[in-house]
Amino acid sequence: MPQSYSISFCRTDRLPEHIEPFYEEYINRVRKMDRKYIPDFCRMLSTSKQWNMNNINEKLCEWEKHFGKREGTRRIIELVKRSFSACTSKDEINKLRGLILEAIVAACHGNSDNLKNSQFGWGAVVIVESTNGIDKKEIKYRCPKLKDPTISKSDVIQNGCNNRQTVDFGYWNGKHAKLYECKIRPDGIGCQEINYITTLKNELNNVNISHEVFFVSADSSDNIIINLKKQKIEHLRLIPLGYRELLRMLPA
């Protein structure tokens, strides 16, 4: 009888300690927010690319004035203002933006209590293990250029290549895995993500683990598809999830 395999997750990504706790807050708040507001909320994630430490207060006030016209948005507005105000740099603002998109994906699978369940992973290494416990492997991509002493590591990283070892969000139900790569903009996917996803899919296929890999963006799925075609990576069969699809996945 052929050996069967299972998946588990080990969280290794870490955010600043004053930013990371907002993840659970966003999961629970998004689930309570009227899902029809998701498109506008995702639009905020896209436009906030221009936010920085010099204009953050002004931008938050502008967004609140617009989004606050909608009924039942007071608490999500309070969370957005509190979380962005906690950022101390442009880099932290961008990390928070990514965290919020990942929290929306997590909210599609339940509340924050799921994070304690080994079936779920966030910023986590995917571990494949045989049911007899003999074979166990952490799936990681190691960029060969970073091993080449003749190539500048800083040049490699500046060109978008790097090592990669985690999925943004993952779910394993014992038979099938759903794995998510999240980028605010569809063109955010690059060399390290593509090579990691390729490695991930190859490793899962090698042990016959049923899986789907989703590419999530705060944009439309149409624009995701256009970008994937530009990247010429249709062979990876990434499933595009834009704001309309996220809206439908959330509880009514």
DSSP at 109: T
Residues of the chain with pLDDT under 50: 1
* pLDDT score, position 2: 64
Of 231, 228, 210, 211, the residue nearest 219 (C-alpha): 228
* pLDDT score, position 182: 97
**Strand runs labelled E in 76-175:** 120-130, 136-139, 167-172
113: exposed, middle or buried (Cβ count in 10 Å: 0-12, 13-18, 19+) = exposed
* pLDDT score, position 186: 93
Strands 120-130 and 136-139 come out as antiparallel
What pTM, to 2 d.p., does this model score? 0.94
Token pair in block for residue 164: 């990669």
Is 207 within 8 Å of 244 (Cβ atoms)? no
* pLDDT score, position 234: 87
